[in-house]
Structure 1
């Protein structure tokens, strides 16, 4: 049931997420999560600054009310679940830009003044790394 992946900094994208709160699929019959995963993968491949961030797909993050959901994680850092994204290149860029800042941070906290505009208002939860709680 579990698949071993690189434990380094990653954006885990829900590949089965709804397209929107109202619709499971888009007009072409594709789920929003699949579209967002493809946008993240294309952007990561096209821009070297994202080389240190893995894009990993997982079926269902159980955040169905918050379509197009991702989990940002890195070893020893607070993780975050974000959602309610459009499945497009602008959202992918904001997510990966934040992931770079998150990976470079000491404990997973990124100063709000550095947040890309495209992630503001999209945070759902934060998760402590194994063996820790956040202060």
Structure 2
């Protein structure tokens, strides 16, 4: 049931997330999670700043009420689940920008002044790395 993935800085996106609070799919029948994964990959491929961040996907992060959810993680760092995104390039850019700051941080805590505007208000929870809890 588990699939090995790179153990470096990553954005794990739910590929089955709802398109919005109101609907599971868009007018073409695509789920928001699949659209967000595609946007993340397109933005990542177009900018070398994002080369060190893996874009990974999996079905259901169990934050269904928050639609278009991602988990930003890196080894030995506090991780974050974010959601309520519109599955587009603007959201993908903000998520990738935050992930770059997260990867460069010592413990996963990014100073608020470095947060891209596009991630503010989208945090759902933080997750401790294996073997640690946050203070």
The normalised TM-score by structure 2 is 0.99
1:27 alignment partner, SS class: coil
Alignment partner of 1:68 is 2:68: yes
1:64-115 per-position Cα deviation (integer Å, ceiling 9, x unaligned): 0000000000000000000000000000000000000000000000000110
Equivalent residues in 2 for 1:1-135 (5 A)?
A: 1-135=1-135
1:1-37 per-position Cα deviation (integer Å, ceiling 9, x unaligned): 0000100000000000000011000011000000000
1:65 alignment partner, SS class: helix
**Where do 5+ consecutive residues of structure 2 fail to align?**
none
Number of aligned residue pairs: give it. Answer: 135
Moved over 4 A (4+): none
RMSD: 0.3
The normalised TM-score by structure 1 is 0.99
**Where do 5+ consecutive residues of structure 1 fail to align?**
none
